[in-house]
Amino acid sequence: MTLKDYAALIDARLAELLPEAEKKIPDTDEIPWLLENAMRYSVMAGGKRLRPAMLLACADMLGVDRAEALLDACALEMIHTYSLIHDDLPGMDNDTLRRGRPTNHVVFGEGQAILAGDGLLSYAMELMLQNAMAYPEHSARHILAMNDIMAGAGVGGMVGGQCMDLYCEREHISDERLLSYIHVNKTSRMLTSPLRAAAALAGFAPDSPETTALTVYGVKFGLLFQAVDDILDVVGDEKTLGKSIGKDAEEGKLTYVTLYGLEGARKRADALAAEAKDSLAIFGDRAAFFVKLLDDMTHRVA
């Protein structure tokens, strides 16, 4: 299975979970059409489906029944999409283009966009809980997986990273240790949690050699991903990327490129890819998807 194959599986399930809704007064317990359509608009706008694909590929590698992991993968993509919607709001990055479309707040208004993000986060949690209840024989595994996903997305994870990012930008602070906190939490945690969640579903303890190796891979992969993101913000093509570029320089952000220069950032990305590859040794040939992913992400243009 390739990244594209996994993305197709995830797209199909997401489309079922967020169907196009007709305008009507909602019944009690029903999602209002406006909220459903605003959530669907950003989730179904495309995207690489990287995080859920990593969860499913890792589940496959570790022998987890794919059907048992699919809702968690979709939930992860919903959480990621909520973070993009909120990141694009006027109070944050104030962006008008995302996934090749006008951003959620441009189409639905700021208030509804905030709710679409809130909705995706809480719907994701509901779906993961429903999935856990469907497998009572594995409830401890599901609780551990949910803990990894929510902690990665939460206050000591992505939200914490975003908080420090906003703080540094508004206060014009450029501290290397804070930058590392921001990268690891804002970007890497959401790329590590899919792997840790899959390991939890496979029955591995959080401190097992397998989970530890996957965590190292996720952190390095996340930093590589961020370095390439910073490079693309300088040399990328807005149309291919489907989002605004040049924002980092405009806002005077501290990035891999401002810190190491373009060539230095590329070298840093190559070094991170090599370190991430080394961490996969424990899985041998079974980790082929994750070795290829490093190459794909190092050379990505979108």
Q: Which residue is closest to ligand GRG by CB?
A: 47
CB-wise, 71 or 245, nearer to ligand GRG?
245
Minimum CB separation from ligand GRG for residue 142, in Å? 24
84: contact with ligand GRG by CB under 6 A = yes
Tell me the closest approach of the beta carbon of residue 123 to ligand GRG, in angstroms.
Answer: 16
| Binding residue for ligand GRG, selected from 13, 48, 66, 101, defined by CB under 6 A | 48
DSSP track, 79-124 = HHHHHHHHHTSTTTT--SEETTEE-HHHHH-HHHHHHHHHHHHHHH
The interface region with ligand GRG, picked from 63-71, 84-92, 122-130, 195-203 by CB under 6 A, is: 84-92
| C-alpha–C-alpha distance, residues 183 and 165, integer Å | 9
Choose, by CB under 6 A, the member of 9, 50, 54, 71 that binds ligand GRG.
50
- Does position 187 bind ligand GRG by CB under 6 A? yes
The residue (of 89 and 216) whose beta carbon lies closer to ligand GRG is: 89
Strand partners, 97: 102
Collect all residues with Cβ–Cβ distance below 8 Å to 300 and sequence separation of at least 6. 228, 232
Strand partners, 101: 98
Positions 95 through 114 that interact with ligand GRG (CB under 6 A): 99
Amino acid at 212: T
193 binds ligand GRG (CB under 6 A): no
Q: Does 47 bind ligand GRG (CB under 6 A)?
A: yes
Q: Which alpha helices (DSSP H) does the chain contain, by range? A: 3-17, 33-43, 50-61, 66-87, 104-108, 110-134, 139-153, 158-171, 176-182, 189-201, 209-235, 238-241, 247-250, 256-278, 288-298
Residues that bind ligand GRG (CB under 6 A): 47-48, 50, 80, 83-84, 86-87, 99, 158-159, 162, 186-187, 226, 229
